[in-house]
Amino acid sequence: VNPQEGCRVRIEILGQEYVIKGTDPPEYIEMLAKSVSQKMEQINRQHPSYTQTKVAVLVALQLADELSKIREDYEKIIEELKVLDKIHKSS
Amino acid sequence: VNPQEGCRVRIEILGQEYVIKGTDPPEYIEMLAKSVSQKMEQINRQHPSYTQTKVAVLVALQLADELSKIREDYEKIIEELKVLDKIHKSS
């Protein structure tokens, strides 16, 4: 495997196999797959009548929600950091 | 609508309608749906042979990746903030 080209990682989510190509370490991609898989299985258990597509879309929406909220917190903290840095420099 | 119970928002992703119940504002849920929808349409254009489930799972993996990376940055910045705060307090 040429590290610059990345590698191919075979993962399984809800019984379906996916081959992911990327420059991230295989263990990282496997960890992401496990986390998505667990979220899908959870929704699947709660709503056994939902199609796999619906389950996957709901997981994507959950993740988009978490991402949007942490992004907001992140931006706030960057602002706070700038303020603290200014106070430190001026003192 | 009782604000404590939240409200029901009707969204459409890849031609499928979803009813999302939540305490977040409807505009926020619509924004999330639009963002997930755009990501799905992008993968759909690149790989027209992929099933909707595969497209949704790949979007979920993309989002899980972004979330994991921003979480790591967030934790680093919290550490940095603690250090700066100590410096400020001790000066």
Q: Which residue, among A53, A66, A85, would best test binding to B if mutated, counting the most B CBs under 10 Å from its CB?
A: A53
pLDDT tens digit sequence for B10-49 = 998 888 888 888 889 999 999 999 999 999 999 999 999 9
pLDDT at B80: 80
Which residue in A30, A18, A54, A64 sits closest to B54, CA to CA? A18
Contact flag A74-B78 (C-beta cutoff 8 Å): no
Handedness of CA B55, B56, B61, B63 (dihedral sign): positive
Q: How far is A41 from chain B (nearest CA, A)?
A: 12
Residue A43 touches chain B, beta carbons under 8 Å: no
Counts for chain A of helices (H) and strands (E), in that order: 2, 2
Question: Which of A56, A84, A88 faces B60 most closely, judged by CB atoms?
Answer: A56
pLDDT at A32: 94
Instruction: List all residues of chain A from 50 to 79 with a beta carbon under 8 Å from chain B.
Output: 51-54, 56-61, 63-68, 70-71, 73-74, 77-78
By the 8 A CB rule, do A19 and A7 touch? no
Bridge partners of residue B20, in order along the sequence: B9
Residue B12 touches chain A, beta carbons under 8 Å: no
Q: Which residue, among A61, A71, A77, A88, would best test binding to B if mutated, counting the most B CBs under 10 Å from its CB?
A: A61
Chain A residues whose beta carbon lies within 8 Å of the beta carbon of residue B33 = 61
Please give the single-letter amino acid code of residue A39: K
Block mean pLDDT (10 aa), chain A, length 91: 66 87 90 95 94 94 96 90 79 70
Overall pTM > 0.90: no
Longest CA pairwise span in chain B (Å): 62
